[in-house]
Chains A and B, each alone.
Chain A
């Protein structure tokens, strides 16, 4: 692509959180009508950098230059005033408000005192036509599918007349089809004169849509190059650094694995038949879910977040009660009491690590042994042997590369990625011999840690254990699973065997099309 005028520069940006250097003299520049990929693993500082630009974080030092002029951005208001808009990874919308209300909120509308939004609707309709966005403006946001809700976020920014649009991991929660559609509309926006910052940790996306790529790792610049000079090898090396041997990794392995042959004679580890779950509010969240998992199998559940995955996980481990159907562990129907399941060798990695799996106010060691505290070697005659616990904790901290000052560190001091490592360490160190139920186990982990988890999961499989892997990352599922079941609105739309895996087919199923 030809040399463009530079419209935005971020120079020597530094930002620390509680002594933790999140950004270390980072530089970034954006050209006019450019889609600039901001690439890096979790914890690389991509979102932090853009939050600084959007005024959500205040940098400790460094300058922001817009069209050569130094700019002070103290709040998102300043950012918007200067033509900078941001679409956050987790949509910031009010579910029971209409699309128009969500979009115009905070902007000055024409009829301030009557809220007659007709002029705004007309303006929005024009914008929608111009950028080829297809939305019904009067419906409540909560009723829309994820892909459309993202368009609402983009519309918010466009409505405010931004020239620079920041998209934070925009493809999370989109089906492959929706991702393609998003990329098309990004091109339209650039043709209309916008410049776009595209934050992602996915290589393929950067290579397919971006004009230029800036790579960050551990809060530092690694490289910046036009797409024409970029190739997968250099980007991978840049993203993971020296911590990972790419050749041995699972993530970047080129080897094609076959799915496990299922021996129908062997009793499945988990057998679910006609499972139903109804919430207290009377909403049916699981409808007639039927599947089974055999020894040595990794069974994946794919789907856009919020389609019943959480309810499935919690019903299976007994946290929520089922409204119908049967669940059998190793051929036996259990009473669905969590404690009993844990004794049967169930290991559970919950999705909401802070809410469901972590005690922030106690120390790291206690978090690491939680659930196994009454077992050997930690406990003797009903008393906890703290020396043993600390010894074991040190080992886990080392093996799982948890960044903490030691087992006595208060758990709340750890960063999100490290908290996830504690959870992983706990799950794999006290692993039961039956089923592991992992719900988004790699969320928030950097690439080497992700690869570590993948290796552990595959090793389990080799030992003949069964795993249920619920994930929103389709690539992760395609990489690891022997079979994938796709959920849509509480229903298991279909189950595909590894030989039938096809990203777009799964994408169709994720939007409700039955195979």
Chain B
């Protein structure tokens, strides 16, 4: 009995740890999506920010500086992406894919330029757990939920804040209106461009944080393809959660659960091939989309640029 309880606690704790990059990347993608910009570069941005964030943290010996750098690099990606899609009105998917490849390339290029090819991997200390006083002393649950690294708390907090912002404030109402009907928003005096710029940049900063989480918590170093498709899963998560912050939070927990399970299966010996498990989130997303297609909550103008003077016939 004790053995099982211990197993469950360990599993749940791992799950909490693993959900963070999903949450941050998906909420970041969701935020831009709510203004009508579909960011498909999430994976590439995560890779670059993981790489740059790690290097800065390594060179400066400061985890915090690494995080800040990752968010700045993410924000920079966002700015350029916003400029190309919103101001230049270039196709969002073409730009997004280009950024994905660009980000993937940069992520391996920069470490090579800085460290050269070396046999010894540079390593940073991983993020320490930050037990919350009192709460972490709750038997069983305390250790699972309140003895985690800081970004676990931050990611949950970000989700709750985004929910409150989008659904309970007038600013959120304005932001959502841009993705539902940009022309209407414009005609009511809402600055569509500004809303999109803000949403993309803040969204990409969250994605940046998601990226740098990987070397800081999992490996302590940057390795090629460290994201392992988590950026693409973030896009899937957005649809899974209907582009709403709270369902995305729950979805992240589910996706994280599968990832932990897949990892356990991989190291143990099991009848289920782990390739099957890592496929599950995608399958789940498709199932959810099929089941909810009648009442889809996807923003109406997701993926389309807004041109005020374009004459609608």
Contact = CB atoms under 8 A, between A and B. Distances in A.
B130 interface: no
Interface in B134-185: 168-171, 173-174, 177, 180-181, 183-185
Contacts of A114: 168-169
Given A76-B188, A76-B189, A281-B294, A106 B169 contact: no
A282 B176 CA distance: 28
B169 A76 contact: no
Given A76-B186, A92-B187, A104 B181 contact: no
Contact of B177 (A17, A58, A75, A106): A106
A77 B191 contact: yes
A113 interface: yes
A94 B309 contact: no
B228 interface: no
Contact of B186 (A75, A107, A113, A415): A75
A359 to B, nearest CB: 14
Nearest to B188: A106
A106 B309 contact: no
B311 A416 contact: yes
Central interface residue in A75, A107, A353, by most chain B CB within 10 Å? A75
B309 to A, nearest CB: 6
B308 interface: yes
A57 interface: yes
A354 B187 CA distance: 24
B177 A104 contact: no
Q: Could you say which interface size class chain B belongs to?
A: 20 to 34
A444 interface: yes
B195 to A, nearest CB: 11
Interface string B186-216: 1111110000000000000000000000000
B297 to A, nearest CB: 9
B313 A419 contact: yes
A196 to B, nearest CB: 18
Contact of B308 (A17, A56, A94): A56
Contact of B174 (A79, A88, A106): A106
A511 interface: no
Nearest to B308: A56
A281 B308 CA distance: 33
B189 A106 contact: yes
Contact of A17 (B168, B188, B294, B311): B311
Nearest to B310: A17
Contacts of B311: 17, 416
Nearest to B167: A115
Interface string B299-313: 000000000110101
A80 B187 CA distance: 9
B313 A105 contact: no
Nearest to A414: B313
B169 A115 contact: yes
Contacts of B294: 280-282
24 contacts: A56-B308, A75-B189, A76-B186, A76-B189, A77-B190, A79-B189, A80-B188, A92-B183, A92-B187, A92-B188, A93-B181, A94-B181, A104-B170, A105-B173, A105-B174, A105-B188, A106-B185, A106-B190, A109-B170, A112-B170, A113-B168, A114-B169, A280-B294, A281-B294
Interface of B: 168-171, 173-174, 177, 180-181, 183-191, 294, 308-309, 311, 313
